[in-house]
Amino acid sequence: LPLFLPLPGASEEVAPPVQQCFMVPKKEINMVSDMAKWKRSQAYADYMGFILTLNEGVRGKKLTCEYKVSEPIEKLVALLNTLDRWIDETPPVDQPSRFGNKAFRTWYAKLDQEAEKLVSAVIPKHLADAAPEVAVYLKESVGNSTRIDYGTGHEAAFAAFLCCLCKIGVLRVDDQMAIVFKVFNRYLEVMRKLQKTYRMEPAGSQGVWGLDDFQFLPFIWGSSQLIDHPSLEPRHFVDEKVVNENHKDFMFLECILFITEMKTGPFAEHSNQLWNISAVPSWSKVNQGLIRMYKAECLEKFPVIQHFKFGSLLPIQPVTS
């Protein structure tokens, strides 16, 4: 797990300054032909490695199971709780259009202003220089304040944010389950609240042909959780009773519950891709298929990746190994 091997000097409590020049990440993918650069990059390899490491880490495990919760994990949850509180403090405004409530911009301006400070509270003093770089991914992970939309590119920025925290040694190998079950799950709750409160538009949604309007990763990790489950098969997730009884244990079912709360009409019509997935015989096949689909529909799509930012921790340079 090379990702979880921190930079030199990151492990000791009173560590020497890390020999790393941090930088504010910037856009590198400006036209479709740049996509080849992304797929060959160290950033792509590390990002995908991170997603797959966590996919294995949560395999067959319930959200409610026992796992280690380190101090950085607690601090990340506190950070997300702060974002949640700001939503309560920034109610939607009256406006003629139903979607894209402008109060989101007020909420976002607060994050924009405070992001570095929030990140500094999570990382140890000797890594303070990393805060501006890491904070960019946090700011990118909550949606776009101009368009008031949210999509899988924003979700990817949050995974990149967590990946960076692993690369500087703040999060460790034994934090894997807590990264998904505690931090990412809390992130999802806050994003759902943002989507609902400010009626955010789906970013780059393929409409009825996409997997989901807003998220992708919880379907991947959530299907991994269900691998080898004694009784729940993919065909069961379209059954309302099964979802109501098991959603607190499984991220995948939590996603299904949210969709059915937000959408009306037959499931097969508003979520056709998921309906098709319910016909796949096993969760491991679902999991493999979703990983392939994630690469094709999100990571290899220019409209999504053009917004991704590259710095010292997730470099655009080609893979070295």
Residue with tokens 């400070």: 117
Q: pLDDT by residue (tens digit) across 25-54?
A: 999 999 999 999 999 999 999 999 999 999
Contact 222, 251 (CB under 8 A): yes
β-sheet bridge partners, residue 144: 149
Domain boundaries, the chain: 43-59+69-204+303-310, 207-296
Q: Which three-class secondary structure state does DSSP give residue 136?
A: helix
**CATH number corresponding to 207-296:** 1.20.120.1150
Q: pTM for this structure?
A: 0.94
The CB density around residue 119, as the number of other CB atoms within 10 Å, is 27
Strand 309-310 relative to strand 26-27, pairing: antiparallel
Asked if the model's pLDDT at residue 206 lies above 70, the reply is: no
Of 141, 188, 198, the closest CA to residue 164 belongs to 141
Asked if the model's pLDDT at residue 305 lies above 90, the reply is: yes
Q: Tabulate helix, strand, coil % of the chain (nearest 5).
A: 60, 5, 40
Residue 202, H or E segment? strand 201-202
